[in-house]
């Protein structure tokens, strides 16, 4: 395989990551170079699929997503794609043994976004979140564990909890766009009661429990991935705290975010605490 084209493909995935998510890109800088490339390729794949269902309003989304899926499997079959995002992703899938089951669950959730507008039960929501977020966490965990199947099995549950927590925070952060622009309602409680202060409190408590369960796995990750995941965890828990402090009516009218200065402080403080713990031998 042409080394230049491979490098171009991973560089394209890196650019997509940086363009769409500066926060995730910043956290990824604390991975080893090999892990960075793989994680960028995973992000690029899921980002393009997400853009198809969320953004391409004047195109045939169903056709585009179907073609995206076909082109991916064609890339897997032939070991190459002229779509650099798909090319880098299929290389990562092959290198780290990422299960096709995860890819299929992810694509199923993307297809659901084209058809389903309301999630009226917790089972429906959990199924969607597993496909849209949990399996992405498992794909990343395959990369982090790099062939250590015992460690992968041990960390599967915390990885899915982290994926769920990230996704639910995104739902609350983006609730204005989801409900007003896309017409989607993910939380059954909000469909029934609206976003009241009590509903928000219950959702925040549920997400915080997911984060607590996820943290137990983060501390056990290999050293070349642990700090990057920890920074992403700290960013999202900070976002959750800000959501908790924001009135429910305001969450419905604006997108909650962390300022650039706040992000810089978060990264720096997390680094300092992480290295101090490592220096003194604390967990």
141: Cα within 13 Å, side-chain hemisphere: 28
Low-confidence ranges of the chain (pLDDT < 70): 1, 278-283
> How many Å apart are CA 172 and CA 244, to the nearest integer?
10
Buried-state track 152-163, b at ≥16 Cβ within 10 A, e below 16 = beebbebbbbbb
pLDDT of residue 211: 97
| pTM score, whole prediction | 0.93
pLDDT at 23: 87
CA distance 213 to 112: 27
Per-residue model confidence (pLDDT) at position 51: 96
What is the C-alpha to C-alpha distance for residues 25 and 43, in angstroms, rounded to an integer?
10
pLDDT for position 278 = 57
Task: Print the domain residue range for 9.
Answer: 3-280
Handedness of CA 269, 237, 11, 261 (dihedral sign): negative
The total number of structural domains in the chain stands at: 1
CA distances from 205 to 8, 208, 211, 234, 243 (A): 43, 5, 10, 16, 12
> What is the per-residue pLDDT for 1?
63
pLDDT at 39: 97
Q: What is the pLDDT of residue 207?
A: 97
Number of other residues whose CB lies within 10 A of the CB of residue 271: 14
Helix axes 61-78, 84-96, angle to 10 degrees: 50
pLDDT for 193: 77
At 104, which CATH number? 1.10.600.10
Task: Determine the pLDDT at residue 162.
Answer: 97
Picking from 219, 39, 32, the residue whose alpha carbon sits closest to that of residue 139 is: 39
Q: Which two tokens stand for residue 75?
A: 């890339």
**Cα–Cα distance list, 259 to 107, 190, 231, 263, 267 (Å):** 32, 27, 15, 6, 12
State the chain's mean pLDDT as an integer: 93
């Amino acid at each position: 395989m042409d080394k230049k084209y491979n490098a171009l493909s991973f560089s394209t995935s890196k650019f997509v990551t940086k363009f769409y998510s500066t926060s995730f890109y910043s956290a990824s800088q604390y991975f080893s170079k090999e892990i960075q490339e793989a994680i960028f390729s995973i992000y690029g794949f899921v980002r393009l699929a997400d853009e198809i269902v969320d953004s391409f309003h004047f195109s045939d989304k169903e056709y585009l997503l179907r073609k995206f899926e076909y082109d991916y499997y064609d890339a897997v079959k032939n070991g190459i794609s002229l779509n650099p995002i798909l090319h880098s992703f299929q290389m990562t899938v092959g290198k780290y043994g990422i299960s096709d089951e995860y890819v299929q669950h992810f694509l199923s959730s993307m297809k659901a976004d084209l058809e389903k507008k309301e999630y009226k039960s917790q089972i429906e929501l959990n199924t969607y979140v597993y496909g849209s977020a949990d399996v992405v966490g498992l794909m990343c965990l395959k990369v982090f564990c790099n062939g250590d199947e015992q460690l992968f099995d041990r960390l599967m549950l915390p990885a899915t909890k982290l994926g769920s927590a990230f996704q639910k925070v995104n739902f609350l952060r983006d609730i204005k766009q989801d409900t007003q622009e896309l017409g989607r309602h993910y939380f059954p409680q909000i469909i029934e009661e609206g976003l009241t202060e009590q509903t928000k409190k219950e959702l925040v408590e549920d997400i915080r429990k997911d984060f607590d369960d996820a943290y137990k796995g983060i501390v056990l990750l290999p050293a070349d991935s642990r700090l990057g995941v920890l920074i992403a965890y700290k960013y999202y828990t900070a976002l959750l705290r800000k959501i908790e402090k924001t009135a429910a009516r305001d969450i419905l009218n604006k997108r909650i975010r962390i300022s650039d200065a706040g992000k810089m402080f978060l990264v720096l403080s997390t680094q300092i605490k992480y290295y101090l713990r490592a220096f003194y031998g604390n967990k």
